[in-house]
Amino acid sequence: MQTTQVLLSEAHLGTKLNHAISGERRGEFGLLLAMLSADARDMAQFHLKGSDREIEQRLHEQFELPKSQPLLSDMSKEQVIDHSLVFQQQGLAAFHLSQCLQPEAVVTRGAVPIEVSQVLANCSLVSKAKYTGDLTDEDLSINTPHFVDQLVQQRLLAEIIV
């Protein structure tokens, strides 16, 4: 006999463990414990209500914490926070205050990695436009006239020559 229900924590068993203990059914109690997951992360006391995002947001609001420091900022898409001028003009204490109030990203870079930007600096404008998607192959294609238009142009040229 195989069970199709997966038992992760004691919450899935309900009161079966209690009844096995109170009825002095040691075999059933041992079987129920053996059927539970061996992973400690699956135990009921480690499952918190709500998702991790909701809990983190609730704790930030409860303790009035500032928003966390971003890891990466893109100079091409957003206004980059730069506290270097504050440090230079007002000193270390003002820099720390600015950093706490409005955290600066750990890494600031452009839309493309530094290696790609070095390669693009040595390319033609057409290659750069193709890479950024501003120029497609359709823009580069020469619009050849329709066959009928070519015949009309040839007849006009023939009339001029004759």
- Write out 22-78 in H/E/C secondary structure: HCCCHHHHHHHHHHCCCCHHHCHHHCCCCCHHHHHHHHHHHCCCCCCCCCEEECCCC
Task: Give the C-alpha separation, 156 to 162, whole Å.
Answer: 10
Q: What is the largest CA-CA distance in the chain?
A: 118
**Lowest mean pLDDT segment, chosen from 2-6, 63-67, 107-111:** 2-6
Contact 9, 42 (CB under 8 A): yes
pLDDT in tens, 94-116: 999 988 888 888 877 777 777 88
Q: What is the pLDDT of residue 90?
A: 95
pTM: 0.35
Q: What are the structural domain ranges in the chain?
A: 10-46, 52-109
In contact, 16 and 32? CB cutoff 8 Å: yes
Per residue in 140-162, pLDDT (tens digit) is: 555 667 788 888 888 888 888 87
